[in-house]
Amino acid sequence: MSNTQKTLSIIKPDAVQRNLTEEIKSIFKKNDFEITSEKKIKISKEEAEKFYIVHQTKPFYEDLCNYLSSGPIVVMILSKENAVLANRELMGATNPEDAKEGTIRKKYGLSIDKNSVHGSDSEENAKKEIDFFFNN
């Protein structure tokens, strides 16, 4: 049975700043993701805090929100069979040092905080995150 899903992807400030947007988009396309919506935006710290609210008790929350709001980001809706998991696999581990060869974070990530991309971690969160950026 087919299970086409949508997931939210963000190209984070470190990658946008290094002009990696087109390269990263081409990786998604090569891996059969369809980019159904896309926009380049800069969010406020308050918006970043809302987006990452699940991490509000973590020691890295403040830095993370400052970082995500520090420069332009590219937010995209990716569509594919089992897109949520497929994107997590293509992104690689949170810490680029632990990410597998061939993953986006292994290739482009600079550090655990500047790890170049975000991807929704469940179908439920994908829906919430897509709503957050596209349905308002």
Q: Please confirm, yes or no, whether 118 is among the known catalytic residues.
A: yes
Instruction: Give the nearest residue (CB) to Mg ion.
Output: 121
Out of 6, 12, 106, 118, the active site residue is 118
Out of 23, 31, 45, 64, the residue judged to bind ligand CDP by CB under 6 A: 64
Minimum distance of Mg ion from residue 1's CB (angstroms): 27
How big is the site for ligand CDP, counted in residues (CB under 6 A)?
9
For position 60 contacting ligand CDP by CB under 6 A, the verdict is yes
Q: Distances from the Cα of 51 to the Cαs of 25, 37, 56, 103, 133, in angstroms?
A: 22, 18, 10, 24, 9
Alpha helices in the chain (DSSP H): 13-17, 21-30, 45-51, 61-68, 83-91, 104-108, 123-134
Q: Alpha-carbon distance 76 to 78, whole Å? A: 6
Q: Which residues are catalytic?
A: 118
Q: Which residues of this protein are in contact with ligand CDP, per CB under 6 A? A: 55, 60, 64, 94, 112-113, 115, 118, 121
